[in-house]
Amino acid sequence: MSNISKSVSTLEETRTGLCDEFVSVTGSDSAVAQCYLAENDWEMERALNSFFEADMEAVFTVEDSPKKDISPPKVKRRKLDKPQGKIDCIDLTTEEPACSSSSSAKSTNSSKSVEPKAEVKTSDSEEQDGGKLSLISWNVDGLDTVNLGERARGLCSYLALYTPDVVFLQELIEPYVQYLKKRAVSYTIIEGGEEGYFTGLMLKKSRVKLLNSDIISYPTTQMMRNLLVAQVTFRDQELCVMTSHFESCKGQAEERMKQLSVVLKRMREAPTNVTVLFGGDTNLRDAEVTKVGGLPGGVCDVWEQLGKQEHCRYTWDTKANSNKSVPYVSRCRFDRVYLRPAKEGPGSRMTPDHMALVGLEKLDCGRYTSDHWGIYCSFIL
């Protein structure tokens, strides 16, 4: 075989392999794969980004058609019994989650259907809770493009219902971000990356002012992970808000603990007048937190601080969440929120007030907003 023939054969094998990889990631066919790869000079990352963007645009074009019912998926608010001094618990489920304990709060009012608008705007509820800071942290699984349009609308529905001041998001892709910018117009959106998948921060414009932001790299990550940090003010108090998606899978424990150490160091060394909030998909196991020496003094795990309530323990729960078809049951507290109040000034009195899981209700497509449950937290200043 001549050198030219060998070269052509090798090129064909390489491109066939790229097509097979594209098909496995996107669920498309070889013809689609060849089209996108060829248009993007056979660069896999560019081709995938182009495919996801076109896929999202196609989905949202259909959803925005006047011939379709584009009202957001219905979510429900229930008022639950609460301990003395606590705010009403907000629960979006139609029934208690599978991991709820018998001691979880009982319903006191009938369910009331709520249909927030798809465009996320400031709610009157912020006037009632003006003295509290609220946040949602959620891995939205943007890499799963099945029903992604409806799932993105589902996220916006929860944002409209809860109107959190700060939102931590993980596993975003660029088309998802563009959709949020179109719909969540009352939020400033900060991206933790530009290609592949990444994290993001959303800040309610009417209540949270962005001062500056930064992306801190993890030197030895193999999964494009980093730490997204923003300095903000809320009610004339300075906050540092941070989100990250730690290395995934059991075998990446060492890297995950390195990333946790980076986060805890920044929390510990923040200025004394600054309150620090971190939230994200940490993929942590409790033993890994212990191995790095536990949380430093002054830093608390919000779930633990609020009494380790069983009904919001598991944020990754294949027993209750069917988005991922896996042949095993896995129930883990991967998603966590940490707080380090300021050491002086008004921020030193910030305390966790409430926590609940969100996204526990199936959308019309029969799937959940994500394969993770989201975490909703509120804090008393």
Q: For 3-42, what is each residue's pLDDT tens digit?
A: 655 555 787 788 888 988 888 777 778 888 888 888 888 8
Residue ending a domain, among 15, 43, 63, is 63
**CATH number for the domain including 283?**
3.60.10.10
Q: 190's torsion region: left (phi>0), alpha (psi -120 to 50) or beta? A: beta
Task: Give the residues across from 332 on adjacent strands.
Answer: 316
**What's residue 82's pLDDT?**
31
Inter-CA distances, 21 with 47, 173, 229, Å:
11, 19, 34
Lowest model confidence (mean pLDDT) among 69-78, 295-304, 335-344:
69-78
Residues 6+ apart with CB under 8 A from 17: none
The sign of the torsion formed by the CA atoms of 379, 166, 368, 111 equals positive
**What's residue 70's pLDDT?**
33
Number of residues in the chain:
381
**Residue 124 included in any domain:** yes
**Domain limits for position 17:** 3-63
**Residue 68 included in any domain:** no
Cα Dmax for the chain: 84
**What's residue 5's pLDDT?**
57
**What's residue 130's pLDDT?**
65
Same domain, 51 and 120: no
Q: Which of these is catalytic: 141, 281, 335, 353?
A: 281
How are strands ordered across the β-sheet holding 226-234? 208-217, 226-234, 237-245, 275-281, 335-340, 300-301
Q: What is the CA radius of gyration of the chain?
A: 22
Q: Tokens for 174?
A: 């660029």
d(C-alpha 265, C-alpha 214), whole Å: 16
Residue ending a domain, among 34, 63, 92, is 63
Same domain, 31 and 97: no
Same domain, 81 and 56: no
**What's residue 139's pLDDT?**
98
Same domain, 14 and 143: no
At residue 243, does pLDDT exceed 80? yes
d(C-alpha 340, C-alpha 213), whole Å: 19
Pairing type for strands 275-281 and 237-245 reads parallel
- What value does the mean pLDDT take over residues 40-69? 62
Residues 6+ apart with CB under 8 A from 234: 133, 165, 207, 208, 209
Rounding to the nearest 10 degrees, give the CA dihedral for residues 265, 354, 136, 363: 140
Q: Nearest CA to 145 among 177, 175, 178, 180?
A: 175
Q: At what angle do helices 44-63 and 148-162 cross, to 10 degrees?
A: 70
Percent of the chain with pLDDT over 70: 77
d(C-alpha 206, C-alpha 194), whole Å: 26
At residue 297, does pLDDT exceed 70? yes
Name the pLDDT band for 109 (thresholds 50, 70, 90): very low
Name the pLDDT band for 76 (thresholds 50, 70, 90): very low
Q: Nearest CA to 372 among 337, 321, 325, 328?
A: 321
Same domain, 267 and 315: yes
**CATH number for the domain including 26?**
1.10.8
Contact criterion met (CB below 8 Å) for 375 and 138: yes
**Residue 69 included in any domain:** no
d(C-alpha 285, C-alpha 201), whole Å: 24
**What's residue 102's pLDDT?**
29
Same domain, 202 and 342: yes
Structural domain total, the chain: 2
Q: For 208-229, what is each residue's pLDDT tens digit?
A: 999 999 999 999 999 999 999 9
- What value does the mean pLDDT take over residues 169-196? 94
Name the pLDDT band for 126 (thresholds 50, 70, 90): very low
Same domain, 245 and 364: yes
Our answer to whether residue 281 is catalytic in this structure is yes
Same domain, 207 and 278: yes
**What's residue 218's pLDDT?**
98
**What's residue 29's pLDDT?**
80
Q: For 136-180, what is each residue's pLDDT tens digit?
A: 999 999 999 999 999 999 999 999 999 999 999 999 999 999 999
Average pLDDT, the chain: 82
Residue recorded with tokens 């989905």:
59
**What's residue 337's pLDDT?**
98
**What's residue 281's pLDDT?**
98
Pairing type for strands 237-245 and 226-234 reads antiparallel
Same domain, 372 and 224: yes
Same domain, 236 and 282: yes
Same domain, 190 and 264: yes
- What value does the mean pLDDT take over residues 349-373? 97
